[in-house]
Structure 1
Amino acid sequence: MMKLKILMLGSSLEQNGGIATFEKLIIKYAPTEIEIQHITSHDEGSIAHRLIIFCQALGKFFWKLIFEQTDIIYLQISERANIFRKSIFALIAFLFRKPVLLHAHGAEFHLTYSRLPKWAKQLLSGIFRRCSGLIVLSKTWKDYYVINLGLNPQQVFVLPNPAELPVEIPQRSNADRVTLLFCGRVGQRKGTFDLIEAFANLPVEQKNCTKLIIAGDGDIEQGRKLVEKLNLTKHITFAGWVNSEQRDKLLAEVDIFILPSYNEGLPMAILEAMSWGLPVITTPVGGIPELVVPNENGLLVKPGDIQQLSAAILSLITNEELRLIMGRTARERVMPYDIKNYVNSLLSVYKSVLTSTNKHILYESKV
């Protein structure tokens, strides 16, 4: 049986962040019916380094298209310059009459698109409409792309991010000290500084029996300065960026996961936390409200509302029973997102894209 040949272009697999995590999961659990080849089109570093990586990716891309069988071009997109880099690959794929499947991860695509001049919006929406399919992380994002970029609803597939579910989760009862975890890029968009200020607002008694771990790269120095200013150095620890093994160790040891973001797609970090049976405190942005149900598997607070965030933290650190119930419900909620199920859904999308593309080519040949 011939395998489907998928050529995936995206972030370096050695890079930090949700897209690289997603790519590695897809490659690791790919069904036997498909073969995924990955080309790194972006890596962190200097402008010169990024340009070299992009040019190398273009060379590899042309080589694959000319000399090797490729069934689908699978582009991982986010926002800002990433959109235009991937648009170049899409345009080249069109010239080779290859079906292009986009996968939108960007939390702030809508902000990038809203700032574009009219001609750039028309160009970008034309490229998106020309693609054979677009995968989005939630129904909310599907509605956005259909309404704002004029996509056909049948062209857009909703696939929330997958999670690699641990076989067993720890018992978290009778904790002497409640540990909170933030995992993501430290900065304003993820609400890290709001979280530090919300922690500072906790009553002294609760603060003394609670610890906050902030894991991730980004504006760590700014975060440390805020922690020192608020006299929280004995309560808040910066772990830096953690790899998947270190992340899982943290998720097994903590009691509550917090991500008070201003913009999101559907964070891998929340899915990972819920898979470890953790209650989540987060915000109703992007696809999060389709996953986190208030007072069932977590709590939702308004982005930037520090008082509300502090109250949510207090409600969970003072009520162990509520934490445990929400944690169990969170684990049950993400069971359908198991990567083993996800890759089968992704395979169905690949087949749908190929079918629609073949029908289009047949129609063109008759015309």
Structure 2
Amino acid sequence: MFNIIMHCSTLDTKGGMVSVTKNYLNYHNWKEFKIKFIPTHFDTNKYIVMLYFGIRYIQILFAIIFGHYNIAHLHTAERGSFWRKNFLLKTYHKFGIKVVMHHHAAEFEKFYASCSLKKKEKICKALAETDMNIVLSERLVPMIKDKEPNAKVEVLYNAVQTFSENPYNTDAKGILFLGRLGKRKGIFDLLNVIKQLDDKIPKEIKFYLCGDGEIESVNERMATLNIGHRVSHVGWIDGFQKEAIFQNTMINVLPSYNEGLPMTILETMARGIPNVSTRIASIPEVIKDGENGFLITPGDVESLANCIEKLVIDTALRNNFSNASYELVTRNFSLDANIEKLKNIYKSILPNVDGTIK
């Protein structure tokens, strides 16, 4: 039996990193692997975060002493998240426990560039000392290797639940934005697009703006643009709401400026929902422009409007994109395949275990 201890934010925290973690914890077929999860963060002010981490750190020490763990799997982003995981990295290595650092940061390069020389040296040292760094796509390998050539890196794409048949609703009338409501995700560009399309698309087409973040600013901008009649929902959605909205989604739109590999794109593509997103980070490895979705340059509001309008009007194109999206995610991004590779990554860093990464 391999005992894995895993850390990220609390499971009610919003975001793709937690979605990935929940997929792992809910998976049914770990066989010889057993996972214990201890959260190390939740969204609040930094002083409470520090106190919370201190309490959890004591729990982690007890787990280390009595749990006989082989590997610590640390899900990390940038800034405070990285420094907390760096502290845990050093702790686990003192006890002879191997560490996997799973990088989900959308703004790691920006974070690194903002650091002092001394902090950059600490980041590079952490990357080198980590037994295996996991990144979300081939395009993100240089994010690690350019800083620390000796770092061990493996690519593990995010994965999602897949379906035996394409569940896409061809009669759906909703356009979905699923992510944190803020400038980085391009929500204000989308609001301008909704205004542009108001007299160009059927009146029954509604937009779902689903996420936490700058909800008040979004509502204020909607009022200024007078587009409230086009929007059916603003704010976070839970599991039941999410499924209901997926069932009525014709297009998913994510006009982000910075990303890794967004879970919302994979989740919607698995359901056959065509995507319009931006040509950044790992997104072009999933969305093939003109084949299963559309890609634009971040901030190109005119192209965003044109792509959405084209998909709304052209039913045949939308259905072709739906089938291509469903087939790609089912083939390459299933949770079963993802976890099999993760098991091999675990085995590869353990002594006296023949771990073959496929």
Report if TM-score (shorter chain) is over 0.5. Answer: yes
Out of 297, 303, 306, the residue aligned to residue 302 of structure 1 is 297
Out of 178-187 and 45-54, give the one that drifted further. Answer: 45-54
Equivalent residues of 2:173, 2:248 under 8 A apart = no
Where does residue 89 of structure 1 map in the other structure? 88
Tell me, yes or no, if the aligned pair for 2:276 and 2:294 is still in contact at 8 Å. yes
Is 1:194 the counterpart of 2:194? The answer is: no
Q: How far is 1:57 from its partner? A: 1.6
CA distance in 2, matches of 1:273, 1:103: 23
Q: Secondary structure at the match of 2:38?
A: strand
2:321 corresponds to which of 326, 334, 357: 326
Q: Is contact 1:201-1:310 (8 Å) kept? A: yes
- 1:109 maps to 108
Query: In structure 2, which of residues 229, 233, 241 is the aligned counterpart of residue 234 of structure 1?
Result: 229
For the residue of structure 1 that corresponds to 2:8, the secondary structure is: strand
Aligned identity (percent) is: 29
Counterpart amino acid of residue 103 in structure 2: A
**1:7 and 2:2 aligned:** no
Unaligned runs of 5+ in 1: 360-367
Aligned residue number for residue 362 of structure 1: none
Partner SS, residue 160 of structure 1: coil
Q: 1:149 to 1:245 in 2, by over 3 A?
A: farther
User: Does the Cα contact within 8 Å between 1:40 and 1:53 map onto a contact in 2?
Assistant: no
Task: Assess, with a 3 A threshold, how the Cα gap between structure 1 residues 171 and 159 changes in structure 2: closer, same or farther.
Answer: closer
Q: Which residue of 2 aligns with 1:364?
A: none
How many residues are paired up?
Answer: 353
State the secondary structure of the residue aligned to 1:217. coil
**1:259 and 2:231 correspond:** no
Specify the alignment match of 1:68 in structure 2.
67
Given that residues 99 and 131 in structure 2 are in contact (C-alpha distance below 8 angstroms), is that contact kept between their aligned partners in structure 1? yes
**1:199, 1:207 within 8 Å by CA — same for their partners in 2?**
no
> SS where residue 255 of structure 1 aligns?
strand
* CA distance 1:328–1:355, shift in 2 (3 Å): farther
Which of 328, 334, 337 pairs up with 2:333? 337
Determine the structure 2 residue equivalent to 1:50: 49
Q: Give 2:218's match in structure 1, choosing from 205, 210, 223.
A: 223
How far, CA to CA, are the matches of 1:224 and 1:203 in structure 2?
17
Q: Establish whether residue 158 from structure 1 lines up as the match of residue 146 from structure 2.
A: no
Where structure 2 has 5 or more consecutive residues not aligned to the other structure, the ranges are none
Aligned mate of 1:180, from 175, 178, 182 = 175
Residue from 24, 27, 30 that aligns with 1:26: 24
* Equivalent residue, structure 2, for 1:363: none
Q: Distance in 2 between matches of 1:262 and 1:48?
A: 30
Deviation for aligned residue 1:227: 0.9
> What is the alpha-carbon root mean square deviation over aligned residues?
1.8
Q: Distance in 1 between matches of 2:150 and 2:181?
A: 34
State the Cα distance separating 1:26 from its structure 2 match: 0.4
CA–CA distance in structure 2, aligned partners of residues 285 and 357 of structure 1: 38
- Contact kept in structure 1, 2:139 and 2:282, CA below 8 Å: yes
Question: Structure 1 residues 46, 116: closer, same or farther in 2, change over 3 A?
Answer: closer
- Residue 307 of structure 1 deviates from its aligned partner by 1.0
* Aligned pair partner of 1:348 in 336, 344, 351: 344
Asked whether the 8 Å contact 2:127–2:144 carries over to 1, the reply is: no
Aligned partner letter, 1:158 = V
Tell me: CA distance 1:358–1:162, structure 2 relative to 1, closer, same or farther (3 Å).
closer
For 1:325 and 1:9, how far apart are their aligned partners in 2?
40
Taking a change above 3 Å as real, the CA distance of residues 358 and 325 of structure 1, as seen in their structure-2 partners, is closer
Q: Name the CA distance, whole Å, in 1 between partners of 2:138 and 2:263.
A: 17
| C-alpha contact 2:160 2:333 (8 A) present in aligned 1 | yes
What residue identity is the alignment partner of 1:27? L
Secondary structure of 1:343's counterpart equals helix
Q: 1:94 deviation in Å? A: 1.8
Aligned pairs for 1:351-362 within 5 A = 351-355=347-351
What's the TM-score once normalised by structure 1's chain length?
0.92
Secondary structure in 1 matching 2:19: helix
1:110-134 CA-partner distances (Å, limit 9, x unpaired) = 1101111111111111111011101
